[in-house]
Amino acid sequence: MGSSNNFVLFLVIVSSFLVVISEGQQSSVPVVPGLSYTFYSTSCPNLESIVRIHLLQVLENDTTQAAGLLRLHFHDCFVQGCDASVLLDGSTSGPSEKSAIPNLTLRQAAFKIINDIQALIQNQCGQVVSCADITALAARESILLSGGPYYNIPLGRRDSQNFATSNVTLANLPPPTFNTTQNLNLFTSKNFTATDLVALSGGHTIGIGHCTSFTNRLYPQQDPNMDKTFANNLKLTCPASNTTNTTNLDLRTPNIFDNKYFVDLMNRQGLFTSDQDLYTDSRTKSIVQSFAVNQTLFFEKFIDGMVKMGQLGVLTGSQGEIRANCSARNGNSMGSWSIVGDEQQGRLAQY
Ligand code: HEM
Ligand SMILES: *[C@@H]1O[C@H](CO)[C@@H](O)[C@H](O)[C@H]1NC(C)=O
Ligand SMILES: *[C@@H]1O[C@H](CO)[C@@H](O)[C@H](O)[C@H]1NC(C)=O
Ligand SMILES: *[C@@H]1O[C@H](CO)[C@@H](O)[C@H](O)[C@H]1NC(C)=O
Ligand SMILES: *[C@@H]1O[C@H](CO)[C@@H](O)[C@H](O)[C@H]1NC(C)=O
Ligand SMILES: *[C@@H]1O[C@H](CO)[C@@H](O)[C@H](O)[C@H]1NC(C)=O
Ligand SMILES: *[C@@H]1O[C@H](CO)[C@@H](O)[C@H](O)[C@H]1NC(C)=O
Ligand SMILES: *[C@@H]1O[C@H](CO)[C@@H](O)[C@H](O)[C@H]1NC(C)=O
Ligand SMILES: *[C@@H]1O[C@H](CO)[C@@H](O)[C@H](O)[C@H]1NC(C)=O
Ligand SMILES: CC(=O)N[C@H]1CO[C@H](CO)[C@@H](O)[C@@H]1O
């Protein structure tokens, strides 16, 4: 693991500094009214470099945090739109999205990273950037810093004042046991195509899964669509279905954002049912193949999927609010933040 991984990260870091002055790739997906590619260019001109420089430090210490940040944005957007509702701590109003079952495996560290980035942004720009935009930017930078493509994203999302109930959360997030039919039903209900589903599933080119997310494919009997050696190795990691161990989602290059996930699928080494079934189902098989042989094509379609996903159900204009604290809606903990803001920058954290 150690030195070769560090070398890759080093390369990624060097290339990312080159990217600072170059253009991101531009998706042809339409921009939702109220969002724009230049939303903060006068109110917070250094926004993107603040996020990138902080994440460079975080990921230099622990590359795997990139995956946690990418997944956080996915969960935010699929439940009630990209409104940072996933970040809200449970409060007097009841259990939050965070406590619904699929969120049990969101990384605590990801929430802290978002809050740390927000504090850095507030110091430079005041309370102008939404937590939903910070989450979207953190996902985008995580992809870049893991070796993936750099692309422009529309900004201007606002933060919600409420979170989704557990039921709504569960109804909108696909479990790993979903087959392609079930995933297509969910994804097409949100206006995604089969190509979007396959491309976005490519997010599993980085990150980890817990045994409980895939032991249904090992016990009581082995999924015939799983490579036997792969299955035997997974059984060593997960000797029982309730062990708390984790394993990499992408066997080949677990921390690099590339198209190897699709090569895994073609070798029946996808981890979840939802992954492997993309190569079994005739509606998605050829898309998997096309991404496995052409990374440029995968990146292009992934970007389109992310730009679409990043605009799901967004609040814009005067809807919602710009949270002073990403973990709480304004009014819950306003006091402490305005005091901190006043002392450090002489700005009021009111707008
Ligand atoms: C297509 C339906 C999807 C299903 C069924 C699914 C399911 C899952 C599950 C079960 C895990 C592992 C949770 C655990 O056991 O710890 C996971 C992890 C992950 N998912 Fe998905 N996911 C889907 C789509 C996506 C999308 C669209 C993205 C982003 C573009 C994404 C990004 C990730 C990442 C990066 C991880 C690793 C997280 C970490 O290492 O902390 N997933 N997903
Ligand atoms: C660095 O990462 C390790 C886990 O890999 C974590 O325990 C530690 O807190 C991190 N340090 C910093 C400064 O983030
Ligand atoms: C959530 O769903 C469960 C099972 O479908 C149902 O019993 C429960 O009443 C629902 N809760 C709410 C608050 O809608
Ligand atoms: C997908 O799963 C659903 C629900 O379990 C099942 O009814 C359906 O037959 C499955 N489809 C395929 C093609 O396996
Ligand atoms: C899907 O697109 C149609 C037409 O473009 C639009 O009317 C509809 O609101 C969209 N649905 C969702 C869930 O975004
Ligand atoms: C966790 O997985 C490792 C191999 O990856 C294995 O050696 C260990 O026994 C597993 N731990 C448990 C509790 O299953
Ligand atoms: C897993 O299940 C076995 C058998 O039911 C039990 O003995 C063991 O304590 C459980 N382990 C965990 C980590 O829950
Ligand atoms: C790979 O995909 C890109 C983007 O669509 C395309 O321009 C290129 O021609 C493809 N390469 C091959 C070898 O098919
Ligand atoms: C942000 O809100 C959370 C949840 O209410 C709270 O625990 C935390 O202390 C707040 N952070 C700051 C810096 O005020
Ligand atoms: C990451 C996260 O917020 N996890 C929460 C999931 O739900 C449990 C149970 O409510 C909480 O204890 C975790 O903090």
Can you tell me which atom of ligand 6 is nearest the CA of 238? 14
- The reply to whether ligand 3 has any atom less than 6 angstroms from the CB of 167 is yes
Which numbered ligand comes closest to the C-alpha of 68?
A: 1
> What is the reported pLDDT for 4?
52
Structural domains of the chain, count: 1
| Residues whose CB is less than 8 angstroms from the CB of residue 247 and which lie 6 or more positions away in sequence, other chains included | 208, 209, 211, 234, 237, 238, 271
What is the pLDDT, as a whole number, of residue 107? 92
Q: Is 100 in contact with 333 (CB distance < 8 Å)?
A: no
In a domain, 159, yes or no: yes
Nearest to 284 by CA among 275, 296, 297, 293: 275
Give the phi and the psi of residue 258 in degrees, each rounded to 5.
Answer: -145, -165
Q: Is residue 115 part of a domain?
A: yes
Q: Is residue 335 part of a domain?
A: no
Distance (Å, whole) CA 239 – CA 103 = 24
Q: Which two tokens stand for residue 17?
A: 């500094």
Least distant ligand from the CA of 239: 6
From the CB of residue 29, how many other CB atoms can be counted at a distance below 10 Å? 17
- Note whether residue 190 is domain-resident: yes
| Token pair listed for 295 | 């990374």
pTM of the complete model beyond 0.85: yes
CA of residue 298 to ligand 8 center, whole Å: 9
Position 12 in a domain = no
Mean pLDDT in each 10-residue stretch from start to end of the chain (351 residues)? 55 56 86 98 97 96 97 96 92 64 82 97 98 98 97 98 87 96 98 98 98 96 97 97 94 98 98 98 98 98 98 98 96 43 24 17
What is the structure's pLDDT at 337?
Answer: 36
Structure tokens that stand for 13 in this block:
């870091």
Residue 84: per-residue pLDDT: 97
Q: How far is the CA of 50 from the centre of ligand 10 (A)?
A: 28
Q: Residue 13 domain-assigned?
A: no
Question: Which of 236, 265, 235 is closest to 251 using CA atoms?
Answer: 265
Q: Which domain holds residue 291?
A: 46-207+249-310
What is the domain-level CATH number for residue 115?
A: 1.10.520.10
Residue positions counted in the chain = 351
Does 10 map to a domain? no
Please tell me the distance between residue 237's alpha carbon and the centre of ligand 7 in angstroms. 15
Residue 331 has a pLDDT of: 85
For residue 303, the one-letter residue type is: I
* Per-residue confidence (pLDDT) for residue 241, from 0 to 100: 86
Contact criterion met (CB below 8 Å) for 261 and 249: yes
Q: Does residue 258 sit within a domain?
A: yes
**How much is the pLDDT for 21?**
46
